[in-house]
Chains A and B, each alone.
Chain A
């Protein structure tokens, strides 16, 4: 299956004021996003995440590089591509005096929907995002959570094959953010929709994304699943095993899922890629060797640490 997104050497700079050199935001980004996946672009503020997603969504023209989305060139075939994609950004914005229903209908018409088809689609989306009871409420009278839900509902109005979500949970309370994440995951699971999202929330990326890439200094620094990135950077769940006597003589560093190992008199400290998967077999192995630990202490991977490692 061809990738949903294929970008090679994407460069983007913005003109600066008063004879200053242009501000180079993307310095040659290469990106491949497989179809049907949730792919996360991570990075600190001002890393160029919105710039990249805007280029992919045809809102911004790249200065250089080749970008194909769903097999279409984002510059030369933008109009064709726009029928098949949609986007939602942080801080949902719609025309303040239009109701939820009218805003959805407006967006539907922009994609050429009308009559019964439009009415049915709007009703489906209102139902799907539990907005039916608010359908006659004007946008400026909605809570932040409902606004964001409307923004997500709007992205499905044209039944897109690819969705761009630019920091979709930014500014939402934890409960609403969780709800929205569940919606995003469900959409991908049930419809096979490819989703590219940007976030600086690593926990969100871990929950939602099959793969992530980290944008740093205008290039994609690393790319993979979060456990893969943890393994690559030697970051993971920390397990401290205390023994009654000397620990069993094993090559701990070579055990499956062990990223780092430190053995002292009566203690072994291991860094595991995923403790919930590795710890059971590890304890079984130690018991098999006749020296089960007397205590086990687990400290889950600090994702902030991973973020820090990648960002600096």
Chain B
């Protein structure tokens, strides 16, 4: 139980004053206030970033890669999420943005959107070759994967056994660049330019492979100003340096519904936002959702453009993505047969299956857990049900649960309505 769990956020104790805002916002009830500081319970956190968005004191910071860290590698490669094309307004084309990004000190930039298109074809292939079970759930959002492992462990087998585009792209790039430039693979540093910190968890502690093909993830926020400055200063004609290879299907992956746009089936559903995702997974678990082939769930509102590390207003970002989709069309840029060949070589497949990692039960002994459950229900009846959070637990029910889990020094007297608050 004391397994070291890596997380993508850090609470700055000098800034945190122990208000209840993040604790109340946390969808998995993973935060407690102890001695006037917010504390994250590792086994419950899914790295959704809700706390990061909402903290009024700026006390929660994402643990992403600093752009100076790229210098550890001889060859520096940027692999931006397609979200990047939505961040600078509709006036700048993907090629210009890629070139401006490269100018920050990368030796190579690669358009992940192309691989997204590839993944759309591969998903289609997967669905055709695996007629059951249903629905198959997307593996793209690392938070959704963690949410399923933790809250819906019985649904783990429904997650598509295919790596998301960022890993597939990095895997391919590392091989190709090493061959083309005749340098060892370990000299190449590949960095995802990310709209969320959760990718750091899937890079540092991958669930489906020994080691991630990515070396880090740099926040879009961190590079935004420098890229914008280069875009505005268009003395250099960026377009002269780039080749147009943009995929309309791939760019769509930046928004909710983008992943299923490239798949041919009438039974596809896309859901975004943490609460709606939890709701639909609940329905899948009850068997309420039938007759659906593929379920795309993205934890951020409207998809990755709603990520906590983006800069542009997400509604404007969405508009930009839609206009890029119109402009570059739904035409396939990738040869379907090539993707099928890669599929047959298991190029997209997980190295190992995702394991369920359920929240710890009330007790590891079943009989003890039942006793604690009854005790919890009894305690809950005595609590006021106001859900104020002043006790340090997010609501009365969770407080009752914390009490029966024997949290150190926790007594029912922590409730301001029942006893004296120690806060």
Do these two chains interact? no
